[in-house]
Structure 1
């Protein structure tokens, strides 16, 4: 990019041809202004010293050894006084050696060039000037070589950084999709399960117990409205540009009272115990605990056939303990549906994922003496156990 900027997009081979013409003109001018009236073939030798320049990028060492070196040595031997004071072809040649040759070739070429300058010059001042000219071209070529290496390394680092950023972005997208899938599952599974159970009970009580039928339909409506509210919150995050996980729904432990009421409306006796001062608990831990309880109760309503369930959320030091139990058929009757599949393969797996994301763990299995079903979770409250973006 810098090369294109400096040369205005000019092809490097066109530029090298221009340099060859300039070098030939300088050499011809030196022969023309010399005190000796040189024959035509000396002019031809002077012009030929720049013959290799247009091909210096293609095969720099063979072209340099085959064209420039023999011609320049012959010119120096037969018409030394006709050499230009600053041989442009020699400067560009040493620049090419330093910039393009591998180390095993460039340093020997520098030694040979310095030796030729010292031995082929008739005066100490001339030898010193020739050495400085050759070394100057070599140093400039070495600097350009180093800059190009640095530019290549920077470009490689930028490419690797871009790949890492793309990989991290893809991983973040996958994590966000998984998080949203958990949210959608928890919201819909809980609400739809309650609505289905209530809808199935409605026809049985609509004639014999109208008041209970009204409560059944109220529960269905409440469950639907709650699901719609939570879905709007999830979809709002998806629609809002630049929205992050912190804008996603963050249910609180206090909202479990509403969940308990809806479960009671489904005909399940429900006990709920919450710790004091739930508002002071970390928001992500509260959200995870809420979703764990919600999913456990959803499985109870759908699979257990229980008549009673209890939820106990207590703070034990720096850990929040969550216990959900029921008096249903237990593991023996629900193993294939609830434990192995865990609510269609998502429910209890989601519980474990939420607990693990908080640095905690969750377990599920039979209740005391093998009766009922029990879900327990331990969620650390300390900063070391809380990870960003947990639970929704």
Structure 2
């Protein structure tokens, strides 16, 4: 019942105030004997001192002034009033709802009225103090109601703020989780797409070459093993984040691992040139990982879709930015039946996350170009060791400054035991070429030899590299497939790799003889078969 009355009062405040005003008017009139002997002056002054209470919540201070004037008029006309009901209610309202200035004026006016009453009416001090204490009590009740209302408002505001903070934190956590899922999805795509593509190419070649050319078959299986182990290592790094905290995240590959990508692409039959321009600068880890993944995904797309024989990777340092451009000589635009993938989307997201720009598209004369430009947060030059002596034409720098002198140290425990004698290093002079002992001696002199280049290029996996000591990081690399002096000219990626001789050279997977030409031109289906379905880039 009481709760229902409170609800009705909140819904109809004016009706409640009107009832309070009428009640105060009747109490005032009955207290002055105006009911038995009504006088117009007393009724008028009683109305002035009580009826304005109808608007007490809309204009509390003016209502208090009117009620005070009516109360003083009653005192003068009729005599001392013990209970000025209208003025008491008005005092409570001002104390509860008005600002500090209005409350101060009301307190001063009340004190003045009490003193005036004592002086004019010549009433005892006790009666005056009693009347004054009633006003003080009314004022105190209003102040308490005000404090209670302010406290409730403060608690509601604090609860609302806490709710908003919890909602914001929940949204932030959801956003972080979404970004982490996207990051893991990109890493999984990059790692698996690249590794599975390399494994598929070598797995198709190995069984067909087991009887005809065991050495080439061994190299193909060795490449499968190495690629699988690298993929497992990177997957452990990526998935380890799901169980550990932020500090448990293992280092991811960066710019120093780009030559290894070139070596793996060479094993798939491509000629890959890696060239650095400008002065290398200190590169933030996230930028290095983004550029590495862009190069990795671009090479994967070339091997899977482009029908290219050569790829050029240019890394250019300029004022405050690093630019990576990957260009191939493949067919360029995707075939009509190709379906879109996630590779280009993932690359664009990685570059955008670092504040960079990304473009990808076919070239007018054939081929495809991927360009990523990422700003650097650090501009200090990265230290590069000076040139070291080596065989003629092998280039001015080597990779040992960025990798262990013994590349076998980079392999998991026991990996070297799986390799033939002399292949524990797996890569000559830090490159990704995996050759059994003495393999370089089987290649005719000069067939895949290094090239002297004014931009400091060299051929990754060449015979000269096999004799090169491990000492200093390379600046530029060209990954070229090993060829045989008796092999026919290469017409596609696999024609220059393990499938250059043997059953595939003359079988259904042999490369077509049509020359290369513009978008969708030559080199088609070399080593994979022109009758096989194409998969879209990315």
Once the 2 structures are TM-superposed, how far is the Cα of residue 154 of structure 1 from its aligned partner?
Answer: 1.8
**Quick check: which has more Rg, 1 or 2?**
2
Once the 2 structures are TM-superposed, how far is the Cα of residue 317 of structure 1 from its aligned partner?
Answer: 2.4
* Alignment match of 1:136 (pick from 135, 140, 146): 140
Mapped to 1, the partners of 2:371 and 2:337 lie a distance apart of 20
1:371 aligns with 2:321: no
Mapped to 2, the partners of 1:116 and 1:218 lie a distance apart of 108
Q: 1:160 and 1:249, CA in 2 relative to 1: closer, same or farther beyond 3 A? A: same
Secondary structure (helix, strand or coil) at the match of 1:170 reads helix
Which residue in 2 is equivalent to 1:165?
169
Once the 2 structures are TM-superposed, how far is the Cα of residue 355 of structure 1 from its aligned partner?
Answer: 1.8
1:219 aligns with 2:223: yes
Mapped to 2, the partners of 1:328 and 1:235 lie a distance apart of 34
Cα deviation 1:330-363 (Å, max 9, x = unaligned): 22x54763xx72xx2x101111222222222122
Once the 2 structures are TM-superposed, how far is the Cα of residue 111 of structure 1 from its aligned partner?
Answer: 6.0
Secondary structure (helix, strand or coil) at the match of 1:330 reads coil
Which residue in 1 is equivalent to 2:312?
310
Q: In structure 1, list runs of 5 or more residues that go unmatched.
A: 1-12, 15-53, 79-100, 385-392
Mapped to 2, the partners of 1:379 and 1:308 lie a distance apart of 25
Q: How does 1:1-392 map to 2 (within 5 A)?
A: 59=9, 62=16, 65=20, 103-104=57-58, 120-121=81-82, 123-240=127-244, 242-243=245-246, 247=249, 249-274=251-276, 280-331=282-333, 334=335, 337=338, 341=340, 344=341, 346-367=342-363, 370-382=365-377
Asked if 1 retains the 8 angstrom alpha-carbon contact of 2:276 and 2:314, the reply is: yes
Once the 2 structures are TM-superposed, how far is the Cα of residue 147 of structure 1 from its aligned partner?
Answer: 1.9
Deviates more, 1:230-239 or 1:138-147: 138-147
Higher relative contact order (CA 8 A, sep 6+): 2
Mapped to 1, the partners of 2:237 and 2:131 lie a distance apart of 83
Secondary structure (helix, strand or coil) at the match of 2:359 reads strand
Mapped to 2, the partners of 1:112 and 1:149 lie a distance apart of 31
Asked if 1 retains the 8 angstrom alpha-carbon contact of 2:290 and 2:351, the reply is: yes
Asked if 2 retains the 8 angstrom alpha-carbon contact of 1:314 and 1:321, the reply is: yes
Secondary structure (helix, strand or coil) at the match of 2:212 reads coil
Q: 1:205 and 1:127, CA in 2 relative to 1: closer, same or farther beyond 3 A? A: same
In the comparison of the two structures, how many residue pairs are matched? 303
Asked if 2 retains the 8 angstrom alpha-carbon contact of 1:330 and 1:372, the reply is: yes
Cα deviation 1:277-332 (Å, max 9, x = unaligned): 8682111111110000000000001001222222221212222111112222222x
Q: 1:376 and 1:167, CA in 2 relative to 1: closer, same or farther beyond 3 A? A: same
Q: 1:177 and 1:233, CA in 2 relative to 1: closer, same or farther beyond 3 A? A: same
Alignment RMSD: 3.5
Once the 2 structures are TM-superposed, how far is the Cα of residue 255 of structure 1 from its aligned partner?
Answer: 0.9
Once the 2 structures are TM-superposed, how far is the Cα of residue 112 of structure 1 from its aligned partner?
Answer: 7.8
Asked if 2 retains the 8 angstrom alpha-carbon contact of 1:114 and 1:134, the reply is: no
Mapped to 1, the partners of 2:234 and 2:212 lie a distance apart of 35
Q: In structure 2, list runs of 5 or more residues that go unmatched.
A: 34-54, 76-80, 83-122, 380-538
Which residue in 1 is equivalent to 2:116?
none
Asked if 2 retains the 8 angstrom alpha-carbon contact of 1:324 and 1:374, the reply is: yes
**TM-score, length-normalised on structure 2?**
0.50
Cα deviation 1:220-255 (Å, max 9, x = unaligned): 111111111111111110111x437x9365321001
Once the 2 structures are TM-superposed, how far is the Cα of residue 102 of structure 1 from its aligned partner?
Answer: 8.7
Q: 1:383 and 1:134, CA in 2 relative to 1: closer, same or farther beyond 3 A? A: farther
